[in-house]
Structure 1
Amino acid sequence: MAEFLYRLGRGAARRARTVIALWVAILLAAGAAFALFSGELKETLSIPGTPTSEVSDRLTEEFSGLGGGTGTVVFQTEDGAAFTDEQRSAITERIAQVADLPGVEDAVDPFATEEARAEQQQQVSEGRTGIDEGREELQQGQEELDEARAQAEAAGMLDQVAPQLDAQQAEIDEGLATLEEQSAQLEEGEALLDMAADIRMVSEDGSAALSNIAFTEPQQDVPQETKDAVMAVFEDDPVEGVTVDFGSDIAMAVPDLLGIGEVVGLVVAAVVLVIMLGTLVGAGLPILTALIGVGVGALAGLSLSDVVEMASVTPILGVMLGLAVGIDYSLFIINRHRIQLKQGRDVKESIGLANGTAGNAVVFAGATVLIALLGLNLTGIGFLGVMGTVGALSILVAVLIAVTLTPALLSLAGPRILSRRERARLAEGPAVASQEGDGDAAVRPMRTGAAVGRALLGIAVLVVVAIPALDLRLGLPDGSSEPHDSTQYRAYSIVSEEFGAGQNGTLLVAADLPGSPTQEEAAAYQLQLAEELYGQDSVVAVAPIAISDDRDLATFQVVPEDGPTSESTEELVHTLRDLAPLEGAGTLGVAGTASGNIDISDKLSDALPTYLAVVVGFSLVILLLVFRSIFVPVVATLGFILSYFAALGGVVAIYQWGWLAGLFGVDSPGPILNFLPTILVGILFGLAMDYMLFLGTGMREAYVHGAPARTAVVQGVRAGRAVVTAAAIIMISVFGGFVFSHSAMIRPVGFALAFGVLLDAFLVRMMLIPALMHLVGEKAWWLPRWLDRILPNVDVEGSALERRHSSAPASTDTGESGLVNAASGTSGREGSASEG
């Protein structure tokens, strides 16, 4: 691979303009594919086969118009007064227009619904009055009948009038029975109305109203065009004096690929590059190649959105990765090329050699990230697999650009990749030019006491920071997590304030009815079920929806006490699913947006341990091949696990607990984005392997060439610390720019990646791992002889290639001399590192 990349780099350098034209053509082709084939991004995530989807599918089969997606439209008067008659009429007219739109099953008129409720209450009241009056009349008739019977008995005429009196008594008894039956029915209806009393469509003061829109398609399949058409009815012809807001189930906020925060992150990365490389040309090349890579990867990924279900956050993830690794991978090659130029190598020869050595490491590091991301498909969760695949595509493009476009641009830049001062020193001679850094400084191993202190401090900090992860709760953002100036947040807030938080996440409950009940029995079952549901903790209202035609299924609307992402609502969903209120009818089914999000979070939680185990196993194998050691892979992998859980702890503390909420723009703390822990495993693993590779190979190189084990640790850190520090700061800057994204989904992802890189690069790789390796000493490189014989020799840094092309002056610098081979096998020390 190293020889191939060497030739590829030299070829790209010789045909620089051709390579640049090719990548421009690829970028244009990706843009054309996006324009021709891109489809609609999904704001709603779904997983087939969950309890919610099964209930929804059955409801769709049993009830026409039930089981499809829903949306909420919220109306509020601008002056806070009750709606006028004109405003009511205008809103009703527009709701009727919405109901006629293609893809809309029904649109509920809140005013008509409240009028119908008032009529039902009036009917109940009138019915109760009528029954009471009927009872009085029958009681009076009974008294008169009893008096007539007494008079007839006193006159001795009872036998003659008995048939007539008995007939009248039968009429009275029948009337009483009818009244009792009507009273029982009235009490059932009154009980149902009382249980549904808190389900209001118009606020008590008459200043706010909400309309529920029912769509013909399931929630995740409702086209955005249909939702846009619903919003257009109200926005194109607004009602005077009335504001209209839309819930998250209608208003889709597709996040911008690049915003102000992301631009600031790029600026910080540029500053870091200028400081490290000392020239604007050198600083501009990695950013240019990264932007081209992001353009190709994002446009190519989005072009697939018409054939696969793609969440709106998916392309943003690709942009994050494309920017961060694109800059870093080019930086590694450019940094190696600069060092070689200062050693006196020819420009094109140096480009080829940098591509075959540092570029070889880039390919290896990129392959680890790519495989980890593709491994997300092993979870069996469709949208997560798509995220991993799109992210892997961005990584692949970044690697290809690093080993082809970067050499081409370096060829055009020529010696200008060095600063004027560096070129002046080079003119004095390569020996003078290469006398930079601390390579000539005496290399001494760290003190053992300091190593113990560093190890204990690093582990303690990581464990403490990881503690909040024990309280991790997963969910999806609701309207409360959206920016306060968004229509989704306003709709959520109005509903919570005027109708109760639970109205933002009502549940749809389905219950089987036992046997083949009659209509009367089905009604009795319906009341029994409603009372059972209403009696549950955290339930504020229950309303029957319908009973199927064959009377084997009843459905109810259940309003929780708290919002859709609250712990109480999550517990309620699980509690309802465990209930079996009717003997022989099985447990209840629960559906709805809140229920669906809970199911997705549960599914992701179940898949996380398996995926984490796969990644950890993969990490051990890779590091075993690279470092030919037992201790190094184990401690490096444990370090990754610590940094992973510490990153989760930071996310929980800020986004779930609300610590430093103002600093990070967290307006409403809540559950953590349900796919974040899983996606973080794949990405952070790949980046951690990058840093371990670029630091650990320097340690291995020094050791196999004769340095004492503890001295080799210091030499390896010196060799890679500058480039790893710059790369880590760049990644933190790029990921950190997404922390202030407008999207509630993107912000915690950006923070988790930035914080994870910060912990892993500086605390784990440059502090904890060197300290532990110092304490272990020679045993850090122990490997059984039998295992040493069967393991392939992975020349990650292309040392064999460097030896074959050693005609130019070679560096003797042990400091900032670039990255070196992990397992060259060229020293007798190599054999001593393996023991039987």
Structure 2
Amino acid sequence: MSSILYRVGRFSFRHKWWVLATWVAALVIVAGAVGALQPKFAQDFDLPGTDGGVAMEQLQENFPAQNKQQEEPSTIVVVAADDGLARHADEIQSLVADLKTLDEVDAGTVFDPLAVAAAKPEMASAVIGDGGKIGLISVHQKINLMDVDVATKNQLLDVLEKHRGDGLKVEATGGVMSAQEPAGKAELIGFAIAFVIMIIAFGALIAAFIPLVTGIVGVGLTMMLVTLSAEVLSINQAATAIITMLGIAVSIDYALFIVSRYRSEAARGGDRADAAGRAVGTAGSAVVFAGLTVIIAVAALMVIGIPIITQMGLGAAVAILVAVLAALTFIPALLGAFGRFAFTPRIPWIRHAEESKDSDSLGVKFGRTLVNKPIPFVVAGLAILIVAAIPIKNMTLGMDTVTDDQVAGQELMAKGFGAGVAGPLVVVMHTDEGTIDAAANTAVAKIKALPGVAAPEMVSWTGNGPSPQNPNAGADSAMIIVTPLSSPSSPQTHDLVEAIRDTSGAVEAQGAEIHVGGQTAIMSDLSAKLDKALIPYLVVVVGLAFLIMIGVFRSIWVPLIGTIGFVFSMLATFGITTAIFTDGTFGLIDHTKPLLSFLPIFLIGVVFGLAMDYQVFLVTRMREEFIHGMSAKDAIVAGYRHGARVVVSAAVIMISVFAAFMLSPDTTAKMMGFALAIAVFFDAFLVRMVIVPGLLALLGNRAWGLPRWLDKLVLNFDIEGEKVRDRGLPSTETPVAVGGNSPEPSPSGTA
């Protein structure tokens, strides 16, 4: 493989303008297609193959009018006054009048709750609660949910703000309140931090600029490809954030590794095209295998069978693939375009920007100390991870995706009408044997008797009969709206969903089938499905990656230590994330919530792949030096000399990109960004930089071998680039100028 990659790197360097033009052409073509087709992302959750998914399919087929309403935003505006709403009748009337002026609003469905309660006393409990202190106003807008944007949301917020005050509280939840600010701010912050780190890493401006350009091109192309796929596939918008987040971090990281190795190879002498070939043949091999590990980890999310998780996984896999291709072709082409100016202008006050065999960097000093006394470092690293993992005992999972600006409205609704009013269940029934009357009446009676149902006396069924005046007559399908007493993400609501489904025996005896749908039921099904998929997914990911690492490192101990270390870093990540976002430790989060149900399984996939990145980039250099004659401990120190600065820079960039998403006003985005950032911190700095090298130092030569029978079965991938290590070099290596006109010290190129 290294020979092939050597030729790819050398070709890209020598034919730089053609390679760069190809990348630009790809961007232009895909951008043109996106501009012409204007594809839109989906915003609804679909869960085919589950009871909730079947319910929504039947709702779409048998109740098209109600289904269409569900595809349009219905925002609940909540009004509250401690002295009673009756004292604010004029303000509420004015609020209702202004709500009717919103764009595309169905004015005929916007009612003053006080007027409704007065005209129809039997409906009063549905719109007035808490002894007349809290009221509900439903605002339905004839806009497709996929077309709702921040401008629509802001128009509503302006109306709400206008009518707040004088003792009247006005909040909103659901509908257009789910619209999010467009992405961009977090990405820009991540790029800015990455640029500063790369300046420090390279000590030169242009070299720092090259990975940044690569990241922009790679992520831009990936996101346009994902957007384009939304034209023919249902791609949920929620899947795009993690694709962007991961694409930025990995694109910059891989570029950083290639540029750093090119600098070392150029300093050894010979033609620069050969130096680019050697860089791609050596560091590029590590990029390919690291990328393959990440792709396996995220693409394996398909085994869960949940569309949005599959979309996240496949989108992330595309991002990784583009990042790998850019590192192998786009980076050497850029290096060729800049030529001898690639490492200019120099920043003289940045020390240790280059490898040196004459002076020791902090990484080398740390590595030497670690291999001399590994046990204290290993024990300290494990102790930190164990302490961080302790709060995991309080970890709860749920699908509370309510944004922070909806929390006030949710709390008022829960106070006045119960926590479940924000997440009604949609029970759908159908029969192919006559009418649904008997089965529907049986289901209503069973549901009324269940614990956890709010206002059971209000539970009734609506049919799909041919007469709009009496839809229950001649109906073969029925719909029942059930409001739980508990919140949508609570275990009690999940139990109620299952209890309704357990009535299927009685319903089937009447010749019908029953299913429970709605977003609350679908979220409950999603959580249950994720719980069942966690162990099989973990086996698939870790098993495949373990086999790949055996081939990469030609060792049993290195993959085993790396995998066990990953388990410790994951436990620590879940523990500290639970402490902050669920327990409210340190008061960093205003609105605590359970961890997202898909967070553990997604973190395992993404972080395992990233962890193996650092394992590959750091440990392969150690093995490279070991097989070229160094002792086991000296090889570890050499790995720190050549790789510590780059790995640390890459990890800090990754952490910065993820942490930038914590600036989002939404707790869910903060949770995702924090969990990914702290996971990379634990795994890169404690596991890969301390625990793994420490244990390898204890094992000595035993760490770097395979049993004879297994050695014969494992292919030699030559990830260290043995075949291209000295290709294109003169017989005696000489220092060459790699930045400016003056020669620079030649770092050690061989053991």
TM-score in terms of structure 1 length: 0.75
Does the Cα contact within 8 Å between 2:268 and 2:747 map onto a contact in 1?
Answer: no
Give the direction of change, closer, same or farther, for the CA distance of 1:658–1:344 in structure 2 (3 Å limit): same
Counterpart in the other structure of 2:594: 671
Partner letter of residue 342 of structure 1?
A
Any idea what SS the aligned residue of 1:707 has?
A: coil
Any idea what SS the aligned residue of 2:720 has?
A: coil
Partner letter of residue 6 of structure 1?
Y
Does the Cα contact within 8 Å between 1:526 and 1:554 map onto a contact in 2?
Answer: no
Give the direction of change, closer, same or farther, for the CA distance of 1:495–1:816 in structure 2 (3 Å limit): farther
Alignment of 1:200-599 (within 5 A): 200=127, 204-205=131-132, 208-211=135-138, 213=140, 223-225=145-147, 241=163, 247-259=173-185, 261-418=186-343, 435-437=358-360, 450-479=373-402, 482-484=403-405, 488-489=406-407, 491-509=409-427, 528-529=445-446, 531-533=448-450, 536-537=451-452, 539=454, 543-546=458-461, 548=463, 549=472, 556-578=480-502, 584=509, 589-599=515-525
- Superposed CA offset, 1:139-185 (max 9, x none): xxxxxxxxxxxxxxxxxxxxxxxxxxxxxxxxxxxxxxxxxxxxxxx
Q: Percent identity?
A: 32
- Structure 1: state its 5+ residue gaps: 122-196, 217-221, 425-430, 822-836
Q: 2:673 aligns with which of 750, 753, 764?
A: 750
Aligned-pair distance for 1:445? 6.7
Distance 2:337 2:346 in 1: 20
Distance 1:333 1:561 in 2: 57
2:622 is aligned with 1:686: no
Distance 1:611 1:397 in 2: 24
Give the direction of change, closer, same or farther, for the CA distance of 1:516–1:395 in structure 2 (3 Å limit): closer
Counterpart in the other structure of 2:88: 82
Aligned-pair distance for 1:727? 0.9
How many matched pairs?
716
Partner letter of residue 301 of structure 2?
L
Aligned-pair distance for 1:725? 0.9
Q: Give the stretch that moved more between structures: 334-343 or 609-618.
A: 334-343
Does the Cα contact within 8 Å between 1:333 and 1:359 map onto a contact in 2?
Answer: yes
Does the Cα contact within 8 Å between 2:75 and 2:174 map onto a contact in 1?
Answer: no
Distance 1:444 1:65 in 2: 68
Aligned-pair distance for 1:696? 1.5
Give the direction of change, closer, same or farther, for the CA distance of 1:779–1:229 in structure 2 (3 Å limit): closer
- Superposed CA offset, 1:647-705 (max 9, x none): 2223222222222342xxx3311122232222222221221111111121122223323
Give the direction of change, closer, same or farther, for the CA distance of 1:213–1:785 in structure 2 (3 Å limit): same
Give the direction of change, closer, same or farther, for the CA distance of 1:731–1:679 in structure 2 (3 Å limit): same
Aligned-pair distance for 1:78? 10
Counterpart in the other structure of 1:35: 35
Q: Give the stretch that moved more between structures: 563-572 or 610-619.
A: 563-572
Q: Give the stretch that moved more between structures: 84-93 or 706-715.
A: 84-93
- Superposed CA offset, 1:705-755 (max 9, x none): 333334433333343211111111111111111122244443222222211
Give the direction of change, closer, same or farther, for the CA distance of 1:361–1:292 in structure 2 (3 Å limit): same
Alignment of 1:769-780 (within 5 A): 769-780=692-703
Distance 1:69 1:410 in 2: 56
Aligned-pair distance for 1:452? 2.6
- Superposed CA offset, 1:287-313 (max 9, x none): 121112111111121111121111212
Partner letter of residue 504 of structure 1?
A
Partner letter of residue 529 of structure 1?
K
Does the Cα contact within 8 Å between 2:425 and 2:517 map onto a contact in 1?
Answer: yes
Alignment of 1:638-653 (within 5 A): 638-653=564-579
Distance 2:240 2:256 in 1: 24
Aligned-pair distance for 1:229? 12
Give the direction of change, closer, same or farther, for the CA distance of 1:354–1:572 in structure 2 (3 Å limit): same
Distance 1:270 1:532 in 2: 63
Partner letter of residue 388 of structure 1?
G
Does the Cα contact within 8 Å between 1:265 and 1:737 map onto a contact in 2?
Answer: yes
Aligned-pair distance for 1:433? 7.6
Partner letter of residue 763 of structure 1?
L
Aligned-pair distance for 1:795? 0.8
Alignment of 1:131-170 (within 5 A): none
The CA RMSD over aligned residues, in Å, is 4.2
Does the Cα contact within 8 Å between 1:73 and 1:246 map onto a contact in 2?
Answer: yes
Distance 2:673 2:620 in 1: 29
Alignment of 1:87-166 (within 5 A): 87=94, 90=97, 98-99=105-106, 110=113, 114-115=117-118, 117-118=120-121, 120=122
- Superposed CA offset, 1:5-35 (max 9, x none): 3233223223333333332222222221221
Any idea what SS the aligned residue of 1:370 has?
A: helix
Aligned-pair distance for 1:99? 4.7
Give the direction of change, closer, same or farther, for the CA distance of 1:352–1:512 in structure 2 (3 Å limit): closer
Q: Give the stretch that moved more between structures: 759-768 or 803-812.
A: 803-812
- Superposed CA offset, 1:320-356 (max 9, x none): 1221111111111111122223333443332222122
Aligned-pair distance for 1:284? 1.3
Q: 1:632 aligns with which of 536, 558, 576?
A: 558
Does the Cα contact within 8 Å between 1:94 and 1:233 map onto a contact in 2?
Answer: no
Partner letter of residue 597 of structure 2?
N
Any idea what SS the aligned residue of 1:783 has?
A: coil
Any idea what SS the aligned residue of 2:483 has?
A: strand
Aligned-pair distance for 1:446? 5.8
Does the Cα contact within 8 Å between 1:92 and 1:109 map onto a contact in 2?
Answer: no
Counterpart in the other structure of 1:54: 54
Does the Cα contact within 8 Å between 1:439 and 1:816 map onto a contact in 2?
Answer: no
Counterpart in the other structure of 2:635: 712
Give the direction of change, closer, same or farther, for the CA distance of 1:540–1:797 in structure 2 (3 Å limit): farther
Any idea what SS the aligned residue of 1:303 has?
A: helix
Distance 1:389 1:324 in 2: 17
Aligned-pair distance for 1:789? 1.4
Give the direction of change, closer, same or farther, for the CA distance of 1:489–1:788 in structure 2 (3 Å limit): same
Partner letter of residue 496 of structure 2?
L
Does the Cα contact within 8 Å between 2:9 and 2:329 map onto a contact in 1?
Answer: yes
- Structure 2: state its 5+ residue gaps: 464-471, 736-744
Distance 1:503 1:444 in 2: 59
Counterpart in the other structure of 2:582: 656
Any idea what SS the aligned residue of 1:47 has?
A: coil
Alignment of 1:190-209 (within 5 A): 198-200=125-127, 204-205=131-132, 208-209=135-136
Partner letter of residue 338 of structure 2?
A
Distance 1:501 1:441 in 2: 58
Partner letter of residue 82 of structure 1?
H
Aligned-pair distance for 1:589? 4.2
Distance 1:765 1:373 in 2: 21
Partner letter of residue 138 of structure 2?
S
Distance 2:494 2:750 in 1: 52
Aligned-pair distance for 1:600? 1.3
Distance 2:62 2:362 in 1: 77
Say which structure, 1 or 2, has more relative contact order (CA 8 Å, 6+ apart).
2
Aligned-pair distance for 1:790? 2.0
Give the direction of change, closer, same or farther, for the CA distance of 1:704–1:710 in structure 2 (3 Å limit): same
Aligned-pair distance for 1:775? 2.5
